[in-house]
Amino acid sequence: MTLPKGFGSGGSGGSSSADVERMIGKRVENMTGMITISYLAAWGATFGGTAAGYFYYPWAYPTNSGHFAFIVLTIIEAIGYIFCVKVMQEGSNKNSNGIVAVTIGATAIGTFLISMYVGY
């Protein structure tokens, strides 16, 4: 790997993980919290988008259609969240299965409750 000027071991060809870490600024396997917050924000925005149909345009968007869209989009977001966290931590000894399980479980329960009680 060719590194920019000022990084590396002076032309001997190899790059260490410390050099790559300095170039990036922060190791990605330490960003589980940021990805979790982003996932929760996306889930909230999905509810906000479907809530507009529930409350402001109920004549144009049937409640059952909004619930279906909310559930399908939540599943797609959850798969993307798991994919991002697992790819980010591939090859490291970090393990964030607990935070992923709690986050996915909480959004699953929230999605179920929203689908049962909102819009009727």
pLDDT, tens digit (0-9, with 9 covering 90-100), for 8-55: 665 555 556 666 666 665 667 778 899 999 999 999 999 999 988 888
Query: Do the beta carbons of residue 85 and residue 32 sit within 8 Å?
Result: yes
Q: Which tens digits make up the pLDDT trace of 47-88?
A: 999 988 888 888 888 888 889 999 999 999 999 999 999 888
Write down the pLDDT at residue 81. Answer: 96
Return the sign of the alpha-carbon dihedral for residues 17, 18, 20, 21.
positive
CA distances from 83 to 3, 9, 67, 97, 108 (A): 28, 34, 24, 12, 17
Q: First and final CA of the chain: distance in angstroms?
A: 58
Angle formed by the axes of helices 32-51 and 97-117, to 10°?
Answer: 10
Q: pTM (2 decimals)? A: 0.75
Angle between helices 63-88 and 32-51 (to 10 degrees): 170
